[in-house]
Structure 1
Amino acid sequence: MTDYDLRTRKALRRVMLLEYGFGPETLQQRKVCPACGRANRAQDTHCTDCGAALPEKTLYDLYRAHHRCCLHCGVVVTDVAVYCPECGTRLPKAARRRGAAG
């Protein structure tokens, strides 16, 4: 696969993530209302549907709190990964999670 093919593939993947709402950029732009579950813009302080106060954290903040992510590009990585599969950045060693065997 050529360098052009790899760049094109990454660009198409990023467009799909943005379009379908699962990329880091999209998650950074959304907060979920704890009262009604509506997705709101990150800059909103109150839900546009029910008026309830929104949390400070975006979906991306909550996501990162529960998953190991690349510090450079934000992609989720496994606990055993040494390098990010998306950008190639060397990852810090994974911290042991509570409840892990061993």
Structure 2
Amino acid sequence: MLEMQKKLTKVFYAILSLPATAMGFALSIQISALSWIMTTQYGLDLHEIGIVWAAGPLAGIIGQPIVGLISDNVWFWGGRRRPFIFIGATLAAL
């Protein structure tokens, strides 16, 4: 173990995990509020809401390797990944 790792305390790791904890709380509030909206406004059942929440991660699991393969084999003026980052950021902002 490195000397620096020996100096890190449990308090440091607790403080380090606070942003992830806050994101977890925020995400749980978002999921509960939006699940309620999907139930009341759109009339979705519980299993249909699960499919809606699973669609995003499944799209990432399928899409990210495909975009990675394409970006590895393509060379643009700005580099291999820079155009994909720019286009992806632009689409995400919309």
| Interval of TM-score (by shorter of Structure 1 and Structure 2) | 0.3 to 0.5
Higher helix share: 2
Relative to the length of structure 1, the TM-score reads 0.32
Higher strand share: 1
User: Which structure carries more relative contact order (alpha carbon 8 Å, separation 6+)?
Assistant: 1
Higher Cα radius of gyration: 2
